[in-house]
Amino acid sequence: MPANATPPDSLIYARGLTKRFGSFTAVDGVDFDVAPGEAFGFLGPNGAGKTSTMRMIGTVSPVSAGALTVFGLDPARDGARIRSRLGVVPQADTLDNELSVLENLLIYGRYFDLSWGEARRRAVELLEFVQLTERSKDQVEPLSGGMKRRLVIARALINEPSLLLLDEPTTGLDPQARHLVWDRLYRLKQRGVTLCLTTHYMDEAEQLCDRLVVMDKARIVAEGSPRQLIERYVTREVLELRFRRDEGEPDDGETDDGARLDGQLEGLAERIEHLPDRILVYTADGEATAAAAFERGLRPTSVLVRRSSLEDVFLRLTGRSLVE
Amino acid sequence: MTAPAAPLAARRGPLGGLAAHPSLRVLEHDLLVFRRGWHSYVLSGLSQPFLYLISMGIGLGLYVNRNGGAPDGVPYLNYVAPALLVTQAMMAASFESAWPIMSKFVWEKTYLAAINTPLGATNLLVGDLMWISFRAVLLSVLFFAAILALGAVSSPLAVLSIPVAVLTAMAFAAPIMAFTATQKTDQPFNVLFRFGITPLFLFSGTFFPIDRLPLFLQPLAWATPLYHGVSLARGLSLGRVEPLADLIHLAVLVAFAVAGLVAGRITFRRRLAL
């Protein structure tokens, strides 16, 4: 690793970071920096290399090639020191079902070399923070998915980390549980904890991340704040049109159908995207575009105008939806 | 938020470097879990030896003793008791280094949580091996108490069968833990126990001397750590010390435990640091 490669203000510094499993390349030479206090996100579909990147940052997966420092330290040499300052919320809950809710936190605190007294003091405080105080003596198994996830977050905070790594923190949670998790993460961010998370939910990235990178097929395809990415890659609004297929028409006809529709939408929008069930028309003013299309004789079965999102950015960059 | 924790090695508790050793944190976890179920564990740890000693030692022994007893005219109970003590420690340790360890890798994945702390893969291996050894101590002490209660002790050296049993348990636990770390399902355990552990229990000189085995099986018995554990414990219990043979027995047991640890260090790291 070259000397002075790490900017002094980077908590995480990666250049050409690569992870290979045999002949398969999971992460292919990515560059990024995470600054203290920032909420940084990896957005991408399953298999894009997000988890592998997180595991390298967490020092539990050796770097195959490239440079990586965390807190200015080398994961290969200073793994234990890095981990002592990290909080990790893995994708799977990995809670200890043989221990109570409180004991899960106590033991984890002991793994970080806290005294029993200190571990208990922090555990009680953290259970309050994640709203699990009433369940502290209960076993872990009967907890709901949202509660387990909150407990894992509390567990990750037992060593008062300055950097919290979250791998898909709300995947599999119902909307209410997700919002509760988001709220707690937002509070942590306000306290100055640096968040580094992966997600395949656009709304999650938009809610939580100051800055993010879009990953696809092991590479970073775009980087910026959610707003910057939307401004750079898509229009302000999206017009979603749905059409009924003509009866008797073969069901392979997206191209024919598309070509016919493209002709009619020609000149109305910056870009048109065909999805199996609908057509996305990228435009600054969705209402006006819809009216213009109507004037040209188009009769969609449904019309929806919405603000564009990171989903559209992803579609633009890769030609595919984020969550298939 | 706060200043980073000092590296573990830099902190010294009242026990010095030992108390600060991260592997002990893993043992601590296991003890905390044990706090819930220890009653039933101790109860079964006490009842098992009586079942075995009464059925094998006294029941079967009645017939053996009628026909001249075990080799050198030793009462069969005294002959079989130290061997049973060693085999039950071995059986328990083998079981505990298979399914429960598999669970920590695959089902409950608690190892995957632990490696996100300053603990390393080797700490998990060493900590859980200490824990399995601790349970072997507990079981062996209870078993020895049962032997005492039945008056089947021929020599004060018999008490040494406890450390021999624990060492034998480690000679099995360490390699099996190393093996467990390489497996994705528990299927191979059924094979291991059906064709490995159970036959060993029956044919490693536990119930009869191995020179009664078919000739081609004898070297096989020699190659297994159980035979050495049983021979060593039995010799000591009957008050017979044979320095050279005993040293060889001891060396084989230590070799298996150390080889298991070395292998486990590799397989645990491979499994956890992908």
**Per-residue pLDDT tens for B22-33?**
899 999 999 999
Matching residue, tokens 């598309």? A258
Question: pLDDT digits over A229-260, tens only?
Answer: 988 998 889 999 998 765 444 454 444 555 56
Contact: A60, B109; criterion CB under 8 Å: no
Q: Judge whether B25 and B127 are in contact, CB under 8 Å.
A: yes
Phi, psi of A221 (to 5 degrees): -105, -15
pLDDT-derived band at B17, boundaries 50, 70, 90: very low
Closest to A284 measured CA to CA, from A234, A209, A232: A234
Please state the pTM of the whole predicted model. 0.87
Taking CB atoms and an 8 Å limit, are B273 and A60 in contact across chains? yes
Q: What confidence tier does B1 reach under pLDDT thresholds 50, 70, 90?
A: very low
Which pLDDT score, from 0 to 100, does residue A7 have?
A: 58
Hey, of A88, A95, A107, which one would you mutate to test binding to chain B, going by the most B CBs within 10 A of its CB?
A107
Cβ–Cβ < 8 Å for B76, B152: no
Residue B113 to residues A274, A324, B134, B158, B204, Cα–Cα distance (Å) = 43, 30, 24, 43, 40
Model confidence at B2: pLDDT above 60: no
User: Using the beta-carbon criterion (under 8 Å), do B32 and A155 form an inter-chain contact?
Assistant: no
State whether B118 and A113 contact (CB < 8 Å): yes
Strands A163-167 and A12-21 turn out to be unpaired
> What's the rounded Cα separation, in Å, for the pair A45 and A168?
11
For B5, the closest of A95, A98, A112 (CB atoms) is A112
Nearest CB partner across the interface for A84, out of B5, B109, B110: B5
Share of chain B above pLDDT 90, in %: 65
Please tell me the distance from the alpha carbon of residue B123 to that of residue A79, in angstroms, as a whole number: 14
Q: Cα B216 vs. chain centroid, distance in angstroms? A: 27
Domain ranges of chain A: 12-224, 235-307
Count other Cβ atoms within 10 Å, centred on residue A182: 17
Q: Which residue of B has its CA nearest to A193?
A: B1
Q: What is the pLDDT of residue A165?
A: 97
Least confident piece of the model among A205-214, A259-268, B144-153: A259-268
Q: What is residue A135's predicted lDDT score, i.e. its pLDDT?
A: 97
Judged against a pLDDT cut of 60, whether residue B224 lies above it is answered with yes
Sheet holding A12-21, edge to edge: A24-34, A12-21, A65-70
Q: Do A136 and A150 touch, CB atoms closer than 8 A?
A: no
* Pairwise CB contact (< 8 Å): A96 & B2: no
Question: How far apart are the CA of B21 and the nearest CA of chain A, in angstroms?
Answer: 9
Token pair recorded at residue B88? 């039950």
**C-alpha closest to that of A152 among A195, A193, A101, A228:** A101
pLDDT at B177 over 90: yes
Whether pLDDT at B3 is above 50: no
CB pairs under 8 A between A and B: 98
d(CA B107, CA B105) in angstroms, rounded, equals: 7
Q: What are phi and psi of A100, to 5 degrees?
A: -75, 175
Looking at residue B7, its amino acid is P
Distance (Å) from the C-alpha of residue A314 to the closest C-alpha of chain B?
29
Chain B residues close to A187, C-beta within 8 Å = none
Are A87 and A161 within 8 A, CB to CB?
yes
Q: With an 8 Å Cβ cutoff, are A160 and B114 in contact?
A: no
Tokens 């994708």 correspond to: A91
CA of A159 to nearest chain B CA: how many angstroms apart? 8
pLDDT band at B12, cuts 50/70/90? very low
The contact set of B with A (CB < 8 A) is: 1-2, 4-5, 7-8, 11, 20, 22, 25, 28-29, 32-33, 36, 108-110, 112-120, 272-274
CA of A225 to nearest chain B CA: how many angstroms apart? 25
What number of other Cβ atoms are within 10 A of residue A50's Cβ? 25
**Under the phi-then-psi rule, with left for phi > 0, alpha for psi from -120 to 50, and beta for the rest, what region is B48?**
alpha
Where residue A33 falls among pLDDT bands split at 50, 70, 90? very high
Give the tens place of pLDDT for each residue, A134-179: 999 999 999 999 999 999 999 999 999 999 999 999 988 889 999 9
Report pLDDT for A260.
Answer: 67
- For residue A139, give the 3-state DSSP assignment: strand
Give the CA angle between residues B175, B179, B181 to the nearest 5°: 120
**A58: pLDDT strictly greater than 60:** yes
Instruction: Tell whether the model's pLDDT for residue A319 goes beyond 80.
Output: no
- Name the band, by pLDDT with cuts 50, 70 and 90, for residue B82: very high
State pLDDT tens for residues A62-110.
999 999 999 999 999 999 999 999 999 998 889 999 999 999 999 999 9
Q: For chain B, what is the mean pLDDT?
A: 89
Residues of chain B in contact with residue A96, where contact means CB-CB under 8 angstroms, are: 29, 33, 108, 110, 113
Dist CA A173 CA A149 (whole Å): 9
Chain A residue with CA closest to B110: the answer is A94
Rounded percentage of chain A residues whose pLDDT exceeds 70: 91
Instruction: Please say whether the structural domain A235-307 has been given the CATH code 3.30.70.
Output: yes
Q: Select from B110, B113, B118 the Cβ nearest to the Cβ of A84.
A: B118
Nearest CA in chain B to A58: B116
Measure in Å the smallest separation between the Cα of B179 and chain A Cα atoms. Answer: 21
So what's the pLDDT on residue B223?
84
Q: How far is CA B37 from CA B40, B101, B166, in A?
A: 6, 18, 21
Higher pLDDT, B267 or A92: B267
A26 to chain B: closest CA residue = B274
Question: CA angle at residue B220 from B225 to B241, to 5 degrees?
Answer: 50
Interchain contact, A81 vs B7, CB within 8 Å:
yes
The answer to whether the Cβ–Cβ distance between A111 and B120 falls below 8 Å is no
pLDDT of A324 above 60: no
CATH classification of A12-224 is 3.30.70.20, yes or no? no
Given a contact cutoff of 8 angstroms between Cβ atoms, the answer to whether A212 and A229 are in contact is yes
Out of A84, A92, A192, closest to residue B112 by CB: A92
Predicted local confidence at residue A299, as pLDDT? 85
Residues B237 and B53 sit within 8 Å (Cβ to Cβ) = no
pLDDT of A323 strictly over 80: no
- Alpha-carbon distances, residue A62 vs A68, A291, B106 (angstroms): 10, 56, 21
Of A245-254, B38-47, B124-133, minimum mean pLDDT range: A245-254
- What is the model's pLDDT at position A279? 87
Q: Quick one: DSSP state of residue B38?
A: H
pLDDT surpassing 80 at residue A9: no
Q: What's the distance, Cα to Cα, between the start and end of chain A in Å? A: 39
What is chain A's mean pLDDT, rounded?
A: 89
Output the pLDDT for position B101: 97
Return d(Cα B105, Cα B99) in angstroms, integer: 10
